[in-house]
A and B are shown apart, each in its own frame.
Chain A
């Protein structure tokens, strides 16, 4: 089983609908992230969370909200989806190694492709 699991993998929805993308991880990491990937734009950070009580906006948070239900779960919501939110969404985790060093490696889920019609 994947260490970072995203559901759904693919979703088609209509403008104005509420959508939730879910992410769960078994890596035991405190840090979780939501990224959006668009062709020609790379990955852009939507929200990040360094622990359950710590939620921070990224560079493109408008139109999105998140919930960190537990250390292992981090959900992304689109309250009222619009067509320009059509993209590939990634959840990722990171943490410090046993020596207290942040290795910097991001561990990604397999992505959720969202299409808003």
Chain B
């Protein structure tokens, strides 16, 4: 069975600095998607970034980028120039594309941004 592990329950970063959130996963599939979702205090879940496993190029979205290491089954999120609005819970997620398209979520990392 697939699993997603976020080993950092909580992280802190100084405003304007860079922080990296870790995620590892386990799967025997070769084709899948990986995601980072953000959950601010408003509790609305918002997609931050997506990576298709067949793509070697790391995804980027403005200040957010990922380091996707398929062989190591690692998918970390880098937030550059951290802003107060980045403070939130971040969830790593895996979706299999073999037919069921079910998601597996990690347990989350709470990011605090210090002014």
Contacts and interface: CB of A to CB of B under 8 A. Distances in A.
Interface in B10-63: 33, 35, 37, 42-47, 50
A92 B4 CA distance: 20
B97 interface: yes
Given A42-B106, A43-B105, A45-B102, A105 B50 contact: yes
Contacts, number: 50
Interface of B: 4, 6, 9, 33, 35, 37, 42-47, 50, 91, 95, 97, 101-103, 105-108
Contact of A104 (B4, B35, B43): B35
B52 to A, nearest CB: 8
A40 B9 CA distance: 8
Given A105-B50, A106-B45, A31 B91 contact: no
